[in-house]
Structure 1
Amino acid sequence: MTTPRAPKVAGIDSTVPSPPHTAAHAASLTPLAADELSPGGPLQDRLAGWVSDLTLLHELTESLIRTASLDDALRELLRAGASLVGARRGMAVLEPADGLGPVSKVGLGLAHADLGTIETVPRSVTSYGRILEGLAPLTEGALPRPIAVPDLCGEEDLDPRHREVAARLGYAASYALPLATAEAGKLGAVVWLYDEPAEPAERQRHLVGLYGRFATEHLARLLEVERARAQVSTVAEELLPSRLPRVPGVQLAARHRTGPRGGGDWYDALPLPEGALGLAVGSVSGNGPSALAAMGRLRASLRAYAVMEGEDPVAVLSDLELLLRLTEPARTATALFAYCEPQARRIVLAGAGHTPPLVIGEDRTEFVETSLSAPLGMLSCWEAPSVELSPAPGETVLLYTDGLLRRTGDPMDRAFARLHAAAASVPKADRADPGAVADHVLRTVLPDGLDAAAADGEDVVLLAARFE
C-alpha cells in the first residue's frame, strides 16, 4: 500500500520541508497534556505561529499578484523576500533557461552602478551565478537548491574578485534562491545581501521558499504575456512601412506604438505618378492576430487603389469599402486617404469615420473640416465628398488615429481639446522638423507615456507631413 500524500493547505505545497515550528511530529499524535492545551502552552504557540506565517504569506502574495510587468514583479519579489530573510539589499536576475528571453536585472538598495560592479565578478564563483549556470546542487526534483553563504570573509577559497567587490559594496553574507519550479522551469535567480555575517533561520528559509515558488509561477505567467505582446508588436511593425519615401517638397515622419493586445491601427505613405504623394491612416476593428492580418490586407489593397486612382480619394475609399464588405462582412474599419501635390502644396482628402487631420503652422492650428461619414463596412454603399486644402509653406499636416485620443482617458471632446492645445504649443525651434512636432504632441497629450496603464489595448499612430 502506498503512503497517501499529505493534503495541501491554503495553497501551500506540503511536500516542501517544514521548519520545526510548522512540522508535524509524531509526538503531536499522542494525547496532549493539560499544560499544552492551556492558553500560552506549546500548542497555542504553534498555532499562533502557523496563523502568523499564513497571514504573512497571504499578504505578500496578494501584493505580488497585483504586479502587471516583469520588472515590477521582480522588485516586489525582492522587497518581500528581504523582509522574510531579514536582509536589506538584493538583486534579481530573470534569465529563462530556454534562451528566448527577455533578460532583466533588478536591484533592491543597489544603484545601477552597483549592479554593474557585481556583474564584474565571474558568475561561476557567486551563489546566484552558480544557480544560473547550473552549478548549484540539485533537489530530488532536479531543481537547484538555495545557496547560503553566511560569512563571505570566512570563505577561504573565495575568489579574490568576489572578495574585493563584497568589501567595496559592504556586504558580508548572501542567500540565493532559484526561481524555478517543475511547471515553470528555470527562470532565474534572486540573491539577498547581508551587511554582517548572517543567514536565514530554518523558518525563514521555509517561508521564502514557499513565496519563491509562488513568485516563480507568477513570473512565468507574466513572461508568457510579455512574449506574446512582443510577437504581436513585431508582426505589426513588419506590416507597416519599413521607411518613409522621399518626395521633393515635403518632409515626413511617423510614430507608431502597438497596444498590448495588438490592435489594427496603421499608416502608409507612397509616392504616386507625377511627383504626387499618397498619405493614409486607418484602424481596423478588433484586436489580436486577426486584426493585424486584416490591417495588412486593407493597407495592401489601399496601395493598389491609390496607384490606380489616387487623385480621387473618394473613389479609393469607395473601392476599399466594397472590398471590405465583400471579403470581410463582419469587420469594420476607419480610414483617411490624402492625395498630395507637394510642389503645389495642394491636398485632396476623404475620410470614412476617421478623426480629422490637424494643420499646425505659425499662424494657425486648426482641425480640417471633413465631412461626417460612417466607417467602412457599415453601409451598403459608402460615399462622402472630398475636402481640399492648401497648407502654407512650413505648415505641418498631422494625421492620427483615435487611439491617441482614447489613451488620454478623457471624453472625446476634451481629448480633442488636449490635442489642439498640444499642437498649438509646439516650440518654434521644433516646427521645422515633423518628427519633433510628432514627439512634442505625444509628450504633451500623453504625459504618462505610451505605456501608461490607462492605454489598455489602444494603438497609437501619428503621420506628420511638413510642406516646404
Structure 2
Amino acid sequence: MSAPQRSKVAGFKPVISPPAQTAPPASGSGAAAAAEQSAAVHDRLASWVTDLTTLQELNERLAGAATLDDVLRETLRAGATLVGAQRGLIALEAVESNGPERTIGLGLGRADIGELETVPRSSSSYARILDGLPTAAGGDRADDRGSGGGVDPRSEDLGDLGDLAYPYPEITHPDIATDEALDPRHREVAARLGYAASHATPLATPAAPRIGAAVWLYDEPAEPTARQRHLLGLYLRNATEHIARHLELARTRADLTALRDGLLPSRLPRVPGVAMAVRHRTGPRGGGDWYDVLPLPEGALGLTVGGVTGSGAGTVAAMGRLRASLRAYAVMEGEDPVAVLSDLELLLRLTEPARSATALFAYVEPSVRRILLAGAGHCPPLIVGPHRTEYVETTLSAPLGMLACWEAPSVELTLYEGETLLLYSDGLLHRTGEELDRAFARLHAAAACAPPSVQADPDALVDHVLRAALPDGRAEQQDHPEDVVLLAARF
C-alpha cells in the first residue's frame, strides 16, 4: 500500500514525515509518543503564528510613521520589545555631505547621549559598527558578541522563518561591569547611566550597507535569546528599508533646498530710510514662491513677491528664471510696474506656456515714501502703522500666463513715517485653513494687534504675524504643501 500524501499549508513546510505504513500505532508507549509528538508540532506552529502576528503588528505601526524621526523612534521601540531591553539608541551615518546625521535615543536624554559619545570608539559597540564592522564573506553571519559569547540562531530550529532573516553582524555585551576586555571608560559610563548589558546591530540593506547602527540597553545583565535576535533581524530587514527611503527623501529635499536658496537672495540689501525683514517657509516638495529686494537707479527700490504654480524641482527652476528676468526688467523700466509685469507675462507665455504665475512689483522712492505698484493675480499688500492697518486697494487682475495679453492699472500710494508695507504670498492665507475672506481678516487682525514696539521692528513684526495668523505651529509645518513668503519694509 502506498504512503498517503502530506497535506500542504501555504507558508509552511511539513515538519513531520508521514508514517511509513498506514497501520495504527501500537497502544501504550507508542500512543503516548505520538501524542507528545503531535503536541510538540502544535506548540511549534503556535509559536510561529505568535511570532508572525507580533511582526505584523510592529510593521503596521512602522508603516504609519510619517517622518524619519518617527521611523527611527518606532524602530527603537519595536526593537526594545523584541529583545526585552529597556532603552536604546540609533545613530545614523551621513553617507553624503548633504545627508542627515543624527542620533536618537529611547529613554535617553541629550546628556545621556553625550555621555555615551565619550566612550572610546574602539570600545563603543555602535561606534565600532559605524566605523565598519566587517561582515563574513558570502553574506554569512559575522557575529561579534564581545566577551559574552552567545548562541547562533542557526543552532535553534526556527522553521521556515529561519530562511528570512537578513544577515546582520551583532555585538553583545551581556555583563558590562565584569567584562575586563572593555575600556574602563565604557564600564564607567554604563554604571553612571545605569545599564548593565547591551546588544548592537547595524542598520543596513543590501543596497545601502552603511546606514547606521542601533544599540539596545538592559538594566540588568542579560542578552537576547536566539529567537529574539532572529525576530529582531526579521524586523530590521523591513525597518531599514523604511529608514533608507526616508534618508533618500531627506537628501532629495536637501538638494532642492540648496537649489532654491541659491535662486533667492542670500540677504536683504541695506537701503537708507528703509528697514526690512523676510520669512520664507516651503513645503516638502519645494514650491515656486519668490521674493526680491532690488536697489534701482536714482535711489529707488524694487520690491517683489510672486509664485509659480506647481511644486518640485521644475517649478523651483522656473521660479529662478522668472525672478532673474524680473530683475532685468525692473532695472530697465522699474518706474513703470505695469510694463515690468507685462514683459514678464510675455516671457512666461513664450518660454513656459504650460505654467502660470502670480506676481506683485512695487517701485519705491524711500526718500518721499512714495510707492507705485502693480499686481497680477496676487494678494494686496497690507499697510501696518500706529494709526492704521489696512489693505491696499488694488485692481482685480488675472495671473500671468492666464490670458492672451495681461494688462492691469498700477496703484500709487504714500506711506506715513513709521508705517510698514507687508507683502506676502497666498500660501500665508491658505495655511490658515480658513475661507479666503476669513483668512484675510485673520491676517489683518494679526498685524493690527501687534504692540507698537513690535510694529517698529520688521523682524519682530513678521514673526508676530506668522505666530498670530498661523497658530499650532503651522508656520513651521514642513509637510504643508503651501509655501509662505512674508516681506516687511518699514519706512
TM over 0.5: yes
| Structure 2 Cα separation of the partners of residues 44 and 363 of structure 1 | 83
Deviation at 1:97, TM superposition (A): 4.3
| Structure 1 Cα separation of the partners of residues 173 and 127 of structure 2 | 13
Letter in 1 for 2:16: S
Match of 2:352 among 323, 328, 333: 328
Deviation at 1:99, TM superposition (A): 5.8
Structure 1 counterpart of 2:72: 74
Letter in 2 for 1:291: T
Distance 1:361 1:29, change over 3 A: farther
| Structure 2 Cα separation of the partners of residues 203 and 96 of structure 1 | 32
Distance 1:157 1:137, change over 3 A: farther
**TM-score, structure 1 as length reference:** 0.90
Structure 2 counterpart of 1:231: 255
| Structure 1 Cα separation of the partners of residues 330 and 312 of structure 2 | 27
| Structure 2 Cα separation of the partners of residues 155 and 402 of structure 1 | 63
Aligned residues: CA RMSD? 2.0
Match of 2:112 among 99, 111, 114: 114
Structure 2 counterpart of 1:450: 475
Deviation at 1:428, TM superposition (A): 2.2
Structure 2 counterpart of 1:17: none
| Structure 2 Cα separation of the partners of residues 414 and 160 of structure 1 | 64
Asked if structure 2 preserves the Cα contact closer than 8 Å seen for 1:251 and 1:434, the reply is: yes
Write out aligned runs for 1:146-165 (5 A): 146-165=170-189
Letter in 2 for 1:317: L
Superposed CA deviations along residues 142-177 of structure 1, whole A, max 9, x for unmatched, are 775011111001211111111110110010000112
Write out aligned runs for 1:405-444 (5 A): 405-444=429-468
Letter in 1 for 2:287: G
Asked if structure 2 preserves the Cα contact closer than 8 Å seen for 1:184 and 1:217, the reply is: no
Q: 125-134 or 93-102, which moves further after superposition?
A: 93-102
| Structure 2 Cα separation of the partners of residues 101 and 121 of structure 1 | 25
Distance 1:99 1:186, change over 3 A: farther
Deviation at 1:414, TM superposition (A): 2.5
Q: Secondary structure at the residue paired with 1:220? A: helix
Deviation at 1:34, TM superposition (A): 4.7
Q: Secondary structure at the residue paired with 1:72? A: helix
Match of 2:340 among 316, 320, 343: 316
Structure 2 counterpart of 1:4: none
| Structure 1 Cα separation of the partners of residues 249 and 322 of structure 2 | 27
Asked if structure 2 preserves the Cα contact closer than 8 Å seen for 1:281 and 1:336, the reply is: yes
Structure 2 counterpart of 1:210: 234
Aligned positions, number: 443
Deviation at 1:384, TM superposition (A): 0.9
Query: Structure 1 unaligned runs (5+)?
Result: 1-8, 11-21
1:29 aligns with 2:17: yes
Letter in 2 for 1:133: D
Structure 1 counterpart of 2:396: 372
| Structure 2 Cα separation of the partners of residues 199 and 414 of structure 1 | 60
Q: Secondary structure at the residue paired with 1:29? A: coil
Deviation at 1:461, TM superposition (A): 1.0
Distance 1:136 1:162, change over 3 A: farther
| Structure 1 Cα separation of the partners of residues 208 and 245 of structure 2 | 9
Asked if structure 2 preserves the Cα contact closer than 8 Å seen for 1:141 and 1:182, the reply is: no
Letter in 2 for 1:91: L
Deviation at 1:391, TM superposition (A): 1.6
Distance 1:144 1:132, change over 3 A: farther
| Structure 2 Cα separation of the partners of residues 278 and 124 of structure 1 | 59
Q: Secondary structure at the residue paired with 1:186? A: coil
Asked if structure 2 preserves the Cα contact closer than 8 Å seen for 1:314 and 1:383, the reply is: yes
Query: Structure 2 unaligned runs (5+)?
Result: 1-9, 20-24, 26-32, 141-166
Q: Secondary structure at the residue paired with 1:189? A: strand
**TM-score, structure 2 as length reference:** 0.86
| Structure 2 Cα separation of the partners of residues 137 and 124 of structure 1 | 17
Q: Secondary structure at the residue paired with 1:286? A: strand
| Structure 1 Cα separation of the partners of residues 438 and 316 of structure 2 | 29
Q: 439-448 or 104-113, which moves further after superposition?
A: 439-448
Structure 2 counterpart of 1:360: 384
Deviation at 1:444, TM superposition (A): 2.1
| Structure 2 Cα separation of the partners of residues 100 and 249 of structure 1 | 40
Asked if structure 1 preserves the Cα contact closer than 8 Å seen for 2:199 and 2:215, the reply is: yes
Deviation at 1:366, TM superposition (A): 1.6
Asked if structure 2 preserves the Cα contact closer than 8 Å seen for 1:138 and 1:144, the reply is: no
Structure 2 counterpart of 1:255: 279
Asked if structure 2 preserves the Cα contact closer than 8 Å seen for 1:124 and 1:133, the reply is: no
Superposed CA deviations along residues 362-395 of structure 1, whole A, max 9, x for unmatched, are 1222211211111000111111111122222111
Distance 1:217 1:334, change over 3 A: same
Runs of 4+ in 1 over 6 A off after TM superposition: none
Q: Percent identity?
A: 66
Superposed CA deviations along residues 205-255 of structure 1, whole A, max 9, x for unmatched, are 111111111111101100111111111111111101122121111111111
Q: Secondary structure at the residue paired with 1:199? A: coil
1:180 aligns with 2:204: yes
Asked if structure 2 preserves the Cα contact closer than 8 Å seen for 1:357 and 1:398, the reply is: yes
Q: Secondary structure at the residue paired with 2:200? A: strand
Deviation at 1:450, TM superposition (A): 3.5
Match of 1:95 among 93, 96, 99: 93
Match of 1:170 among 191, 194, 216: 194
Structure 2 counterpart of 1:19: none
Letter in 2 for 1:69: T
Distance 1:156 1:404, change over 3 A: same
- Which of 1 and 2 has greater Rg? 2
Structure 2 counterpart of 1:268: 292
Asked if structure 1 preserves the Cα contact closer than 8 Å seen for 2:99 and 2:254, the reply is: no
1:141 aligns with 2:139: yes
